[in-house]
Structure 1
Amino acid sequence: MQELFELYNDLDTTYASSNAYTLQGTIFTHFQTLLVLCNLAKDFVSDAQQQYLASSVVATGISDVDLFETETNSSLVNFRTTLPNLFLNSLQLIRGLIQGNGLVSAYSTNWYPFTYNIVKFGTIYFKPQYYGSDGCNCATSATCTQPSTPFIQGYLVGCTPLESLLQSTIECLYEQSCVDLLGIYLNMSLPNSTIPLYKNETRFSATDTIDSIVQQMFVETCSSNVSYNQY
């Protein structure tokens, strides 16, 4: 991440509005946002798990083994079903606040500043960015995206790092040739040991959007241990 930040930091800020369309100008925020989402989901699951395990069962008598397993499994199904919805509701609230309040990205991906005349105490105005062949306007939609320049399979740029990431995939990271191409485009010396991700080590498809993975909270497996004896 440090190398990606330095790459962005070395860009000429004079062309900030143009950098928003490039791989070099967005890849740091792209993977930074992915890291934040992963950590948020991990913490959310961990906190919810602790709360669930700390909950108590109130009953008028001791349940038999069949009733115990039925009710416990039903409770677990409800937990697994509602947890992603709670997480997504929180994420959707953040997305709505960003667009609804017209928050300006520090990376000029949705709005960029300009002045008509460079004078002392001059007024600074903001123009929205446009993406895609249809000229999608970030002033009216937060979900505008288009492929980056240069083109990388599955990698999109858009109004905010979060929105463009959610519509992107990480399929490039599953192909050695694409990983090598990233190193060339970014002018970075990747270690010889840099290898792509293994498709058989995840239940997610290489072409799944980040949004679809976030909806499942990045969870690869989910298991439980129901013990009547401990009850």
Structure 2
Amino acid sequence: MASAQFQVLSALCRIVRNIVSDAVNEFSATIFVSPRALSRTIFDTYTDTLVDQFNKTTLENFRTLNGFISSIIDESRFISALRTNFYTRSVPDSDNYTTFSGIYPQKVNLTQSSFMSNETCRCDQTSNCIYPAGIYNQSKAIIPNEAFSNDASLLFAVPGVQVGCVPQNALLQSTLECFYNQSCLDIVITLTGALRTVSALNISNSISRFHPTTTIGYRDRVWNMVRIAYEKVTTFNLFKTALTDVEQGIYSTRVYILFLMVGVYVLTIYSTKVIGSKQVIVQNPSINQFEELNKMYSSILSCPCSRLSMPRSTFMHYEVQFHPFCTSRFIRDELWLQYWTMEFLN
């Protein structure tokens, strides 16, 4: 059954590649429409939303297709060529044949080669019956209406790999942990004489990307300090020619300066309360100019675009990373069909 599961893995990789490739092409060709230039924050939020929506939609498309295929297999009750879900037996002394359902134990103890419970799973009721995969030292004919058992001496239990009614359903309930473990692969190679040209997959951890952020602080500094020497203030006289009394002239000067300062203060306060607007047009600003202006005048800045739309591919590039199994020799090597031969027992 290993050969069939490798075929399913190869088919799944091809389907995923096609679905993702079509989705990326459609994503890149989609037109982005905006009548005005967007700030960096709004643009980043928009692109993050697009990528998140793209990932969810692509994954959902694959799940829908896989669910559709699984439903067809379940409802049509196809007989697997491996005879893992249904098999036929001839009726003695007649030309008739009887079809039997595959039966698998629900719980298995591989170390003791026995069932842990009497519960069984029948392939005529569900296609999700599974059984731990292993390498045995002999083959055994299927006995009608009996659950599959591992009476034969178990040479090696392949960790994480399941077999069952249908290769696809069993594969989707399996893990690929053995393919990341060179020791596990060495045992499989030694016992089967196959897979000699492959090596264990490398576990690659995804690298987190941190976008640098710039913190901008604003400091208001007020430098309105008027230094007038006390001596000059007390002797300062603006009315020397108008008034003969020097003391009266000094007092009049002080009153004048006081009212002048009050008037300047009132005018200053009034000018700060009055909002003046002036339209400044910058022809064909660069990206840096736009971002700088947007920081200072985000609430009133208006930057119409010369083009209302553009393809997403002009400002976004979607890089797809497939599972390492889909790029390994496990499915690229055409000789994988010959890894294990399959014999049908009469």
Same fold (TM over 0.5): yes
Match of residue 126 from structure 1: 99
Q: Which sections of structure 1, spanning at least 5 residues, go unmatched? A: 1-25, 204-216, 222-231
Instruction: Give the structure 1 partner of residue 141 of structure 2.
Output: none
**Per-residue CA distance 1:61-103 (angstroms, 9 max, x = gap):** 1232333333232222211122101110110111011011111
Report what 1:167 is aligned to.
Answer: 173
Counterpart AA for 1:31: F
Structure-to-structure mapping, 1:186-225, within 5 angstroms? 186-188=192-194, 190-191=196-197, 194-199=198-203, 201=204, 219=322
Structure 2: distance between partners of 1:108 and 1:71: 52
1:62 aligns with 2:28: no
Secondary structure at 1:79's aligned position in 2? helix
Q: Could you tell me which residue of structure 2 aligns to residue 29 of structure 1?
A: 4
**Deviation of residue 126 (structure 1)?**
1.5
CA gap of 1:187–1:69, structure 2 versus 1, over 3 A, is closer
Q: Which amino acid aligns with 2:28?
A: L
SS in 2 for 1:139: coil
CA distance 1:53–1:116, change in 2 (3 Å): same
Separation in 2 of the partners of 1:146 and 1:160? 11
1:46 maps onto 2:31 in alignment? no
| Alpha-carbon separation, structure 2, partners of 1:202 and 1:30 | 26
Match of 2:133 among 145, 148, 155: 148
Q: Match of 1:142, as an amino acid? A: S
1:161, CA displacement in angstroms? 0.7
Give, in whole Å, the separation in 1 of the partners of 2:71 and 2:53.
27
The residue number in structure 2 matching 1:3 is none
Is 1:108–2:83 an aligned residue pair?
yes
1:124–1:220 CA distance, 2 compared to 1 (3 A): closer
Identical-pair percentage: 27
Residue-by-residue CA offset, 1:36-61 (whole Å, 9 max, x unaligned): 111111111010000111111234x1
Alignment partner, residue 123 of structure 2: 138
Distance in 1 (CA, whole Å) between partners of 2:65 and 2:77 is 19
8 Å Cα contact 1:41/1:218 also seen in 2: no
d(CA) in 2 for partners of 1:70, 1:170: 36
Distance 1:40 1:159 in 2: 22
Q: What SS does the aligned partner of 1:108 have? A: coil
1: CA distance, partners of 2:176 / 2:16: 18
Q: Is the 8 A contact 1:155 1:170 kept in 2?
A: yes
Partners of 1:202 and 1:166 in 2: CA distance: 23
**Which blocks of at least 5 consecutive residues in structure 2 are unaligned?**
108-118, 136-156, 207-319, 325-346
Counterpart of 2:202 in structure 1: which amino acid?
A: Y
SS of alignment partner, residue 31 of structure 2: coil
SS of corresponding position for 2:33:
coil
Cα deviation, residue 187, structure 1: 3.3
The structure richer in strand per residue is 2
Aligned-pair CA distance for 1:118: 5.6
Supply the distance in 1 between the matched residues of 2:7 and 2:321 (Cα, whole angstroms): 16
| 1:202 and 1:220 in contact (8 A); partners too | no
